[in-house]
Amino acid sequence: MQNFEIFLIKNLPISKSIHPTYEDALQNMLVAGGKRFRPALLLGVVNTYNPLLEEGAMHAAYAIELLHTYSLIHDDLPAMDNSPLRRGNPTLHVVYDEVTAILVGDALNTYAFEVLSNAPFSDYTRVQLIKELASNGGLNGMVLGQAMDCYFENKPLNIEEIKLLHTNKTAKLIAASLKMGAIIVGKEDLGEKLYDFGIKLGLLFQIQDDILDVTQSSEEAGKLTNNDEEKNSFVTILGLEKALSEANILADALLEEMNGFDESLKNELSSLLVKYINRHKLEETLV
């Protein structure tokens, strides 16, 4: 991911204004790092089938990271999770103020589509990528999931409803990352299969996050932990032991499905996927 980090630094959002902190605030969360998991998925698919398109694909990977970062900024706001820590650093509303954090989130959201609209692809490919990111990150995807998450605080849901919530809030953007990689290399049929795989991967990712929320300290996680007692998390509804069991079942199914990928795709993605698919296993030994 070194090439992606270089691309990100070269393309940080820059404002032309008299505002004393706006530009720093725009860049704060992006340069703080993060997993870069979603960009890595997209670039992994592209590098499997046409590595010559990697430079162009950086625009799409960056757009996904911009949209994801905006969602984290808004998720941490006092009106939502009211979290003081993200990626090991104070959150934007703590460093600056709540208004700045809201507006920076808005700016990164729209900048994601500006970056994507300037990607060096055909008009058809750009439109398909914009559509995919918007539909999975917007009103019928991540934003819908966030709305359900906030509305149903202190209102316990059943397990199928929780899966629906987190399919929207977390899984769809992960699934879109894989599908967008396939769109770039002209393999849209593969994109549908990878999207379905990504939904399951995203649900596992959320179960793992819920597990880590109760098994890690804030320092270890880089964000506030033990903060989901009022939320419909997999741990609050199922309990830690059953959540770990659900994670194991889903992890095993994903590993089996990954082994059915064509050899080149499996070789490209396996090191990244195995790492994340198994990231809850250490916590299981502590229960």
Q: Which residue has the tokens 């299981």?
A: 284
Are the CB atoms for 198 and 179 separated by under 8 Å?
yes
Band of residue 217 on the pLDDT scale cut at 50, 70, 90 = confident
Question: According to DSSP H, which parts of 159-280 are helical?
Answer: 159-166, 172-184, 188-215, 218-221, 234-238, 240-258, 263-277
* pLDDT tens digit sequence for 232-268: 999 999 999 999 999 999 999 999 999 999 999 999 9
Residues 106-149 have pLDDT tens digits of 999 999 999 999 999 999 999 999 999 999 999 999 999 999 99
pLDDT at residue 13, as a whole number: 96
State the pLDDT confidence band at 88, using cuts at 50, 70 and 90: confident
DSSP state of 156: P
Q: Inform me whether the pLDDT recorded for 182 exceeds 60.
A: yes
Give which of 149, 193, 152, 145 is closest to 167, Cα–Cα: 145
Whether residue 206 is predicted with pLDDT greater than 90 in this model: the reply is yes
pLDDT in tens, 59-71: 999 999 999 999 9
Rg, C-alpha atoms of the chain? 18
**Separation between Cα atoms, residue 169 and residue 144, nearest integer Å:** 7
Confidence (pLDDT) at 286: 43
The first and second tokens of residue 253, run together, are 């199914």
* CA distance from start to end of the chain: 33
Backbone angles phi, psi at 36, to 5 degrees: 55, 30
Domains in the chain (CATH in brackets) are 2-284 (1.10.600.10)
Tokens of 104: 């920076």
77 burial (CB, 10 Å; 0-12 / 13-18 / 19+) is middle
* pLDDT at residue 287, as a whole number: 44
User: Can you read off the two tokens belonging to residue 239?
Assistant: 């309990």
User: How high is the pLDDT of residue 220?
Assistant: 65
Give dist(CA 185, CA 193) in Å, integer.
Answer: 15
Q: How confident is the model at residue 280 (pLDDT cuts 50, 70, 90)?
A: confident
Which of 33-37, 104-108, 217-221 has the weakest average pLDDT? 217-221
Retrieve residue 40's tokens: 């890595």
Three-state secondary-structure class, residue 143: helix
Q: What is the pLDDT of residues 169-179, one digit of tens each?
A: 999 999 999 99
Query: Alpha carbon of 125 to those of 45, 46, 100, 175, 214: distances in Å?
Result: 16, 14, 34, 18, 42
pLDDT(285) > 60: no
Q: pLDDT of 146-169, one tens digit each?
A: 999 999 999 999 999 999 999 999
Q: Which helix (H) or strand (E) holds 24?
A: helix 22-31
State how far the Cα of 22 lies from the Cα of 15, in Å rounded to an integer: 7
